[in-house]
Chains A and B, each alone.
Chain A
Amino acid sequence: MTSLIALSVLTTVFIVLSVMSGVALLVTVYLDYRRSRIDDGIAAFRRHIDALSPESRRSSVTRDSDDGADWRYRK
């Protein structure tokens, strides 16, 4: 009888511990996901702004095509 009671107490403790570990794991995963989402937003905005910098634009807005150069002289 005593061993049965001890076993059920141990089982309960294990169940509580497993539930708490599971919840802790879920919270950790959620927080990590949220932080990475914030980081993604910052990184995407940074990429967007960097792509609009004068240095980034220099090559494309001053590009002159060899093949297309003759259009300038057409009437």
Chain B
Amino acid sequence: MARDLAIDLGTANTLVYMKGRGIVLNEPTVIAVNRQSGEVLATGHDAWDMIGRTPSYIVAVRPLRGGAITDFDITERMIRLLLQRVGVSRFTRPKVVICVPSAITEVERRAVTDATRRAGASDAQLIEQPMAAAIGANLPIDEPVGNMVIDIGGGTSETAVISLGGVVALEAVRVGSFDIDEAIKNYVRREHGIAIGERTAEEIKIQIGSAEPGTDDREADIRGRDLVSGLPKTVRLTAEEVRFAIDEPVAAIVMSVKRCLSKAPPELAQDFLSRGMYLVGGGGMLRGLAQRIERETQVPVQMSPQPLEAVVLGAGHCIENYQALRGMFMGARR
């Protein structure tokens, strides 16, 4: 008998929680496929290492963009492999709860549930990421008080106000940390005339990226291909340049937080001033982002203790209490 599973199928990373066991898998949402035979060659960390470094017959892709499936067939194969790796076989079909962005369309929702059922699940239910994040971040969402959670993922950023176990206000934008990486790539190409890959752009973001000026503004040497000569070239990038480069996606995220605040009922809005907002998701770890949101909204912002795992832990709690929390699944409320 297979144990039921909760999956955070993120644009950047996939995490799997097994009922009674906890998180059993955490790896990048990447799959490497042989273009000629269609065979899967690697998934997760192994496939991530191949990005931008493959011969022409191998393609390493992220099958999700903006939290939505862009390649149904590849996503189904990836979910099937994930389920196999955590012990699901042809004869053991677990119930699966999958975390998805709240902004996905009906078609995208059906694509996720169909892919999961075809991959071997007996039942596939969806839960909105901000709700799962609030459960996983241990916010007091069982009380009649306003809890605000900001989940910044690879492809989407979602802000939700939650009270008494339900979503009161919600705002989502399809802007995430991949858009920040893309902005860095474009800036380096435009201003320094060199081409860099998405892994280098992510490394720059982690090393010197920030949303607010700080005391430890640093510089980094980056290597890429000169667009004119075609030769390898090194340039020095400052933290201020990176801040300028990523301002547009960061501003879009902050604007969506402001829109969510304006949607919240006044009774709950006053709770935010005393309780603050909680930041979860890998994108929330960008240096200075909490301070930038705090400065622009005048509401205190706190980082969740487990920003990367909060969503899957929340979904895991739903799988542990499946009957009591059935009403939280997306299909149940529509």
* B22 and A63 form a contact (CB under 8 A): yes
Q: Interface residue count for A (Cβ, 8 Å)?
A: 24
* A68 and B25 form a contact (CB under 8 A): yes
By CB atoms of chain A within 10 A, which of B22, B45, B140, B316 has the most?
B22
Interface string of B288-325 (1 = CB under 8 A from A): 00000000000000000000000001101100110111
Interface string of B148-172 (1 = CB under 8 A from A): 0000000000000000110000000
Q: Interface residue count for B (Cβ, 8 Å)?
A: 28
Partner of B22, one of A44, A57, A64, A75: A64
Residues of chain B contacted by A51 (CB below 8 angstroms): 317, 321, 324-325
Contact A65:B313 (CB < 8 A) given known A57-B135, A57-B138: no
Query: Which residues of B (156-207) have their CB < 8 Å from a CB of A?
Result: 164-165
Q: Does B40 touch A at the CB level, under 8 Å? A: no
By CB atoms of chain B within 10 A, which of A60, A66, A68, A71 has the most?
A60
Contact A60:B27 (CB < 8 A) given known A52-B165, A74-B45: no
Q: In whole angstroms, what is the CA distance A16 to B325 when docked?
A: 50
Q: Does B21 touch A at the CB level, under 8 Å? A: yes
Contact A60:B142 (CB < 8 A) given known A68-B21, A68-B24, A75-B45: no
* B313 and A60 form a contact (CB under 8 A): yes
Query: Which residues of A (37-68) have their CB < 8 Å from a CB of B?
Result: 44, 47-54, 56-57, 59-61, 63-68
> Ordered nearest first, which 3 A-B pairs have the shortest CB separation?
A65-B22, A68-B24, A63-B22
The interface of chain B, by Cβ under 8 A from chain A, is 18, 21-27, 45, 135-136, 138, 140-142, 164-165, 313-314, 316-317, 320-321, 323-325, 327-328
The interface of chain A, by Cβ under 8 A from chain B, is 44, 47-54, 56-57, 59-61, 63-68, 71-72, 74-75
